[in-house]
Structure 1
């Protein structure tokens, strides 16, 4: 038996990832944006073959790119199918992006060293 921490609600909307409509949208997006956006911002070229630190991805099951919903859809069909997407490598999606979503803010800092996200606790 597989342990899964997803709610019943999440299990229901995750079925959308298997639909032809989503697969077509994902493929079109990845064709338009074939590199991880966060790696590119850090000066790395990552087509899914690398980890977020630039080293080669040694796990063949993690050699892919994610069409990530910039704003979490949380089961909303409109946001799921029509919301803005960005391309991320699995590391950036599973580690960085999901941590930001759990925290509720991004930790990026400007040139002055101050957090740029208005939701960061330092900016409230």
Structure 2
């Protein structure tokens, strides 16, 4: 029978059972998602920027939830009414609405977090 003192060097060589730890902050999480989720590339495209601006103009730079008019477009989000879940058809052709960043980050995210996760066909 081996003594515990003899097993100590072997413990460091053992592979992790749970895999590598996930990202620890928002910057790391965003960097990981930009590599794994195709929608991150779509959001940086000229096509999306044109579509986003057309939605903001259509809605007259007004948040659909709080009805606040926001002249600074950096504070507005072109939000997918139905989450696209990385589906290209839903991403490009789905219904969009204008939300201010506050409403998008609070009420909309809370509503989406209560929805079932996964791909549903």
TM-score (normalised: structure 1): 0.62
Distance 1:17 1:68, change over 3 A: same
- Quote the offset at 1:38 in angstroms: 0.3
Q: Distance in 1 between matches of 2:74 and 2:69?
A: 10
2:89 to 78, 92, 96: 78
Output the CA distance in 1 between the equivalents of 2:66 and 2:106.
13
- Runs of at least 5 residues in structure 1 that lack an aligned partner in the other structure: 50-61, 106-124
Partner of 2:46: 20
Give the whole-Å Cα distance in 2 for the aligned partners of 1:92 and 1:30.
Answer: 15
- The structure with the largest helix share of the pair is 2
Residue-pair matches, total: 88
Unaligned runs of 5+ in 2: 1-24, 117-121
Cross-structure match for 1:47 = 70
Q: Does 1:3 align with 2:31?
A: no
- For the aligned residue pairs, the C-alpha RMSD in angstroms reads 2.4
TM-score, normalised to structure 2's length?
0.63
Q: Which has the greater radius of gyration?
A: 2
Structure 1 moving runs of 4+ over 6 Å: none
Task: Report the Cα offset of residue 63 of structure 1.
Answer: 5.0
